[in-house]
Amino acid sequence: MSALALGLLAALCWGFHDLAVRYISQSVSVIAALMAVLVAGALLQFGLVAIWAGFAPMSAKAVSYAVVAGGFYLLAGLSMYAAFQRGPVRLVAPLVASYPVLSVTLAIWRGSEVSIWQWLAIIAIGVGVSIVSTQSDDGTEYPATGPTIAFSILAAIGFAATFALGQYAAELGDEFIVSLIGRLTAIPVLAAIAIASRKSLWPGARALPLLCLMGALDAVAILCVVSAGRLPNAQYASVAASIFGLLTVVLAWAILREEMAFFQWLGCIIAFTGIGYLAI
């Protein structure tokens, strides 16, 4: 399977996962929901390692990349869950999915030239998100957009770092083990955060089946992106996966009945056009 195909599969999984995040976060705390997703995903990945990959030794460098990737993955997860809890999906999804912008930023920092079209794509993302965030004629009350935008941007940064470091680690070791190490890194850190903040880790029996399904979807998506590290044009996987945001917006409109005015659709199209160009 090509890196592009793996990225599209990841986008499909994350599209449904993020829709479920918006739904479940209205009744379950962010920490409890994320812990259940992490544990369910870890169990699935452990089984995949045991069946297909085996527990082959990895170099210290590969393990270190995987551990740091797990830390950024936790940052991304906490931030994204908090952002979707606040809503609306039409604002959060384009921002979380805008992590290809960070690739351009890194290129500038390294001294690479950025074309006028890439600058226009970045501007398009900002304009599109601005249109979505200012057009709110559906009558639904949402929390202040400032913190929501901040959480969404933090999630984008976390995902960009997770994908880059995870693919570096996969070049040096087995992608199944790399993905598992990242998740096993995030779990104890999240548990420590829960203990320090005196938050419960139990999401409730009713929410558990959906959270387990979310864990499986997330585990498959992460594995797809990390696995591309061994393939030609590995970056195509992470940038193709960014279209999950568009799928999430459409699903929220169709299933959760989040109303979308004409200009909000226009804003989403503008933002995702910019994301799509940067992904080329």
pLDDT digits (tens, 9 = 90+) for 7-21: 889 989 998 998 999
Q: What is the per-residue burial (b if ≥16 Cβ within 10 Å, else e) of 123-151?
A: ebbeebbebbbebbeeeeeeeebeebbeb
pLDDT per residue as tens digits for the range 68-114: 999 999 999 999 999 999 988 888 988 888 887 776 676 567 566 76
Distance CA 272, CA 260 (A): 16
Instruction: Report pLDDT for 67.
Output: 97
Q: Are 194 and 201 in contact (CB under 8 A)?
A: yes
pLDDT over 60 (residue 6) = yes
User: Of all residues in the chain, what percent carry a pLDDT higher than 70?
Assistant: 90
Q: Are 182 and 162 in contact (CB under 8 A)?
A: yes
Ranking 39-43, 123-127, 178-182, 275-279 by mean pLDDT, the lowest is 275-279
3-state DSSP: the chain helix, strand, coil percent, rounded to 5? 80, 0, 20
Q: Are 12 and 249 in contact (CB under 8 A)?
A: no
Q: Are 42 and 187 in contact (CB under 8 A)?
A: yes
* Rounded average pLDDT over 147-152: 94
The pLDDT confidence band at residue 278, using thresholds 50, 70 and 90, is: low
Ranking 8-12, 29-33, 63-67, 235-239 by mean pLDDT, the lowest is 235-239
